[in-house]
Amino acid sequence: MKRETLFLKAALVLIGFPVLALCVFLVPALAKVAVKLVPAFPWIQYFVYVVFEASALPFYFALYQAFRLLVYIDRNDAFSEASVKALKTIKHCAVAISGLHLLALPLFYLFAEKDDAPGVIFVGLIVPFASLVIAVFAAVLQKLLQQAIEIKQENELTV
């Protein structure tokens, strides 16, 4: 393992722990708050669990793909179709996370109405917008990497 990517790999592993803690501790609390906000719909608790726990799956899959991307860099294989595929997967995961969190946005609106705190809606928009930024960044990197691979292949064919 190269020293250049060791820090990034460690950072990827450490990023996973807070999200796991949020899934274990914060999601059940949010589900209880949602039931209190909308007592007419007791199934809303399960909706909260599904949305937030399901968004953890693409998050961890994207972390795994980023880890694989760092492994490709370690092997001096960064300019490969596997790297492009990893970036494409990261892009799709980020869009999925954003979509799932946008589904939960009405809950943030209900909470803001109950506590008379309109800023809570902006807190609910942080994760979807951050995910979209990551998706756009991954798409740009994917496009650039694809073009670099094409240029590399053309140069290899030139004698």
In a domain, 22, yes or no: yes
143: pLDDT strictly greater than 80? yes
Answer yes or no: are the C-beta atoms of 93 and 87 closer than 8 Å: no
Q: Is residue 159 part of a domain?
A: no
Residue 158 in domain: no
Residue, of 18 and 107, whose pLDDT is higher: 18
Closest CA to 138 of 58, 74, 76: 58
Domain assignment of residue 4, yes or no: yes
Q: Is residue 60's pLDDT more than 90?
A: yes
| 118: in domain | yes
Which residue, chain included where needed, has tokens 């809606």? 121
Distance CA 94, CA 157 (A): 36
Query: How high is the pLDDT of residue 133?
Result: 96
Indicate whether 159 pLDDT > 70: no
Give the residue numbers spanning the domain of 63: 1-152
**pLDDT, tens digit (0-9, with 9 covering 90-100), for 88-139:** 999 999 999 999 999 988 888 888 887 777 788 888 899 999 999 999 999 9
Gap between the Cα atoms of 95 and 78, Å rounded = 24
pTM exceeds cut of 0.85: yes
- Does 59 reside within a domain? yes
**Is 41 a member of any domain?**
yes
**pLDDT of 146 strictly over 70:** yes
Number of structural domains found in the chain: 1
Tokens (6 digits) for 125 = 């928009």
The predicted model gives 42-59 an average pLDDT of 91
Whether 81 maps to a domain, the answer reads yes
